[in-house]
Structure formats: C-alpha cells, structure tokens
Amino acid sequence: MTGELSPIDTAKFVAARRAADMVQSGMRVGLGTGSTAAWLVRCLAEAVRERDLHFRGVPTSTRTAEMARDLGLEVITLEEAGWLDITIDGADEFDGELNLIKGGGGALLHEKIVASASDRMVVIADAAKEVESLGAFPLPVEVIPFGWKATQTLIDEALTAMDVMGKTIELRPGADGPYRTDEGNLILDLKLTRIGNPRQLAMVLNQVPGVVENGLFVDICDQVVIGHADGRVTLRDVTADTVSEEQYDVGGDGNAFGDLGE
C-alpha cells in the first residue's frame, strides 16, 4: 500500500492495531468479517512476522479464511478449537450498552456462533458506528430459502407489536439473484430506523418460523475499540465500566501502514 490512508481507513486501522495487541501467543482467536476485520487480519499477520506471535484463528466467513491463509495465518475450524479465548470483529452499529447490529457483510450467523463461543468478544469500529439507538443501519435477518416470503410476512406481523419506528423489509440482492450466505440462506434487511428494545426484538425474531438468526448482538460484546481519524483509540469496557484512550502516530506519509499490503 502506498500513499496516505483516508480518514475512515486510518480510524479502522488504529482500532484494528490496538485490538491485535490483545492477542497473545497460544490463543484461539475468532476472526470477524468485513472491512474493519480485514484490517485486523493484516495487523495480526504483521504481528506474526514482527513479534513472533503464534495463534490459531477461527474465521467467520470464507472471505476471512481465504485472506488469513493468504497472509500466512494458521486457520482452524471452531470444532477443532473447541472454545475461543477471544473474538475480534467489526460492527455496523453499536450503542452505549455495547448492543450491536452486525451482518452487513452477510456473515451474521457464523459471527454470532463464534462470538458466543468465546471468553471475550471485542468489537473494533470507527467512531461513526456509535449511535444513541440502534436501527439506522438495516437489521439483517438470515432466513432459509424455503417459504421465505411467508417468513417475511410473519416478520412484518411481528414488527407491528415491536418498539420500532419503521418496518420496511427487503430481500438482499446478490451479484446474480438473491444474496446467499455461506450456509446457502437468504438475508432479509429490516429498515427499522430506530429499535427501542433490541433484546425483545432479537427474541421475537428468532421465534418466527424460517428465521435462522438475526443481526442483533445483545449481551455478547465485552469491549469496543473505537478508532478515530487522528490516530486516537478509545477502549470502552462494559464489564469493568471503564474508558481509556491512547494515541497512535499515524504520520502524514503513510509509512506506518506500508508493510500491511493491499
């Protein structure tokens, strides 16, 4: 990579670099999916080269698995790992209680399984992902292909009793027909604008026949690492109820990022 990073990529990079420092040799690590998680994989590959870090990664998608292998990281399955020490992943939105919306990249089912099978889940995000109330980002719901239109109707009926501002539901498109997850399922994107009670909505959605999982991550995230365009990193820990801040020297010539590759 050459030249300067954009402000948003700088924020993602410093968040990923701080989270990569949490990984210690011998750990079993869940590797998330998405643009910020991709920065994490690059930072971990750099740590393997520069500080002789040894760990085994469990990717949450085929995309992350391919990237990790290409960068020389050891990749195993969740079955082989058994249980994880830490999962580090991005988020489409998070609120003050570290409730999340995830699944913009289509891997919400694997992401939730991996995060739930970890001692600790850490979210890495740029500051723009923090919201007062979840819902501005469409909520992904993974559904089986059979009878998906009936499932959509049932979801629409269920939303009538929920504390949400809107209830538009769209089938996510892919490159050639509907988008398909790694499990071959479909995704319905719920445009709700505001979600008043994420915990209640998550429970109700998962009771609808045909729904596999939803993108609300409630009581799963332990820490969030927030990156800023000026190189600052804010670390918020919901369990310890602490907030700390660090500063990274990002420079102006892009040299700090040159060894990460494209």
pLDDT along the chain (262 residues), means of 10: 76 97 97 96 96 96 98 98 98 96 97 98 97 97 98 98 96 96 98 98 98 98 97 93 90 46 36
Using the Cα atoms of residue 52, residue 236, residue 83 and residue 90 in order, give the sign of their dihedral.
Answer: negative
Please name which of 74, 262, 106 lies closest in space to residue 178, comparing C-alpha atoms: 106
Annotated binding residues for substrate, written as ranges, equal 33-36, 89-92, 102-105, 129
14-46 in b/e burial notation, b at 16+ Cβ within 10 A?
bbbbbbbebbeeebbbbbbbbebbbbbbbbbbb
- Provide the residue type at 237 as one letter: D
pTM: 0.92
Is the distance from CB of 132 to CB of 196 less than 8 angstroms?
A: no
Annotated binding residues, written as ranges, equal 33-36, 89-92, 102-105, 129
Task: Give span(s): CATH 3.40.50.1360, the chain.
Answer: 7-130+219-260
CATH T-level assignment (fold) for domain 7-130+219-260: Rossmann fold (3.40.50)
Please name which of 160, 125, 133, 150 lies closest in space to residue 216, comparing C-alpha atoms: 133
Q: Assess whether 97 carries a catalytic annotation.
A: no
Catalytic residue among 93, 111, 142, 213: 111
Superfamily covering domain 139-214: ACT domain (3.30.70.260)
Please give the span between the terminal C-alpha atoms of the chain, in angstroms, as a whole number: 5
